[in-house]
Amino acid sequence: MYCGSLVSISNKKSVMAVAINIVFVASLLGSCSGCHFPAIYNLGDSNSDTGSDSAAFGRVPPPCGESFFGRPSGRRSDGRLIIDFIADELKLPFLSPYLDAIESNFRHGANFAATSSTIQPADGNLFGAGFSSLSLDIQLLQYEQLKERTNELSDKAKNPNFTDRLPRPEEFSKALYTLDCGQNDLTYGLLNTTEKQVKASIPKIISQFAVAIKKLYQEGARIFWIHNTGPIGCLPIVVINRPPKPDNADPAGCLKSYNEVAQEFNKQLKDRVSQLRAELLGARLIYVDIYSAKYSLISEANKYGFVGPFINCCGHFGDYHVECGETAVVNGTEIFGASCGEPTKHISWDGIHYTEAANQWVANRILDGSLSDPPIPITKACLNVGRQQW
């Protein structure tokens, strides 16, 4: 009996050791497999607008959308945007714009980004200059309303077909929150004030951005993927309409002083994100250097199979001006802002926004985490947050 008891105890210890090893290995494999974000909530401007502006102020015209969707899709591009490639990477459907009443599905997130929107609250000056009333503070209100109404309806709704198109209340805190904004704040300043004044305005803009992050955190957001702003001085509409003088041209031919404004914005944004990490306990804030990815593409366009970076595919700038998808009378002749027919060879779609091919190229450079702080792939952005993985 005594000897048998020892054998039994020994066997139990062996079984327990095996079980512990299995659990340990399984946890390691779980970490390696990355995150399983149930949803994405995106805020920003036209770089990630999948249809808010189109739903609110008039449909984006063809030839936008021609390369991937075969029709206008609310995106100011010939096809997909970086936010679409983010959704693909996370194995989630494309985000429905919050303002679109037709066929929207918010089960896996929502997109609040709007073309021409700013971080600064839209006032009469911004709106009068052609910028959107759907600024970041309004997008936050839309998010809060979506969350509040989802919570209400999930308790009351009896129709599963209806609730299946809504987020799960418990998943708001497990979602990925992406932000891509700031370009229009700088553009407004550069068009209406001096470069010195724009730089002086950056701390206030960054503070307003930080307020938005804190509000999302208070609402339960924990994982943030934050893009800095791109090289404004390399946009074809800038280079063509404001050709840089020799002493103000960088090696790529971009307007150096405009890019320096963007770089200063990005420096202060990165610093503030670092501060927020210390303030927002249990959150993960990932700063993504999209500027470097875009500038690398623009400065070596031919190397990566693209034509000159200052040649937009749709519309025309320079000796005459025709917006993409619109018509204009030039010397008595009506001209349509058509597509070049080969958007895959162009970086710029319409002089401001990128083609699907360029968006995909940039997405491939940022999603692996090599341009992020901390350097972590988007598929593992949730790991070690509040000691919880999902």
Instruction: List the catalytic residue out of 46, 77, 117, 132.
Output: 46
Are 115 and 49 contacting, i.e. CB atoms less than 8 angstroms apart?
yes
Residue 211 and residue 126: Cα distance in Å, rounded? Answer: 20
Whole-Å CA distances, 322 to 21, 262, 315, 329, 331:
66, 27, 5, 9, 13
Instruction: List the catalytic residue out of 45, 185, 250, 350.
Output: 350
Angle ∠(342,360,260) on CA atoms, nearest 5: 100
Report phi then psi at 388, rounded to 5.
-130, 140
321 noted as active-site residue: no
Helical segments of the chain, H only: 2-33, 52-57, 82-89, 124-128, 136-156, 160-163, 183-192, 195-218, 236-241, 256-279, 290-299, 356-366
Report phi then psi at 42, rounded to 5.
-115, 135
Residue 235 and residue 104: Cα distance in Å, rounded? Answer: 32
Are 52 and 74 contacting, i.e. CB atoms less than 8 angstroms apart?
yes
Instruction: List the catalytic residue out of 45, 339, 353, 372.
Output: 353
350 noted as active-site residue: yes
45 noted as active-site residue: no
Active site positions, annotated:
46, 350, 353
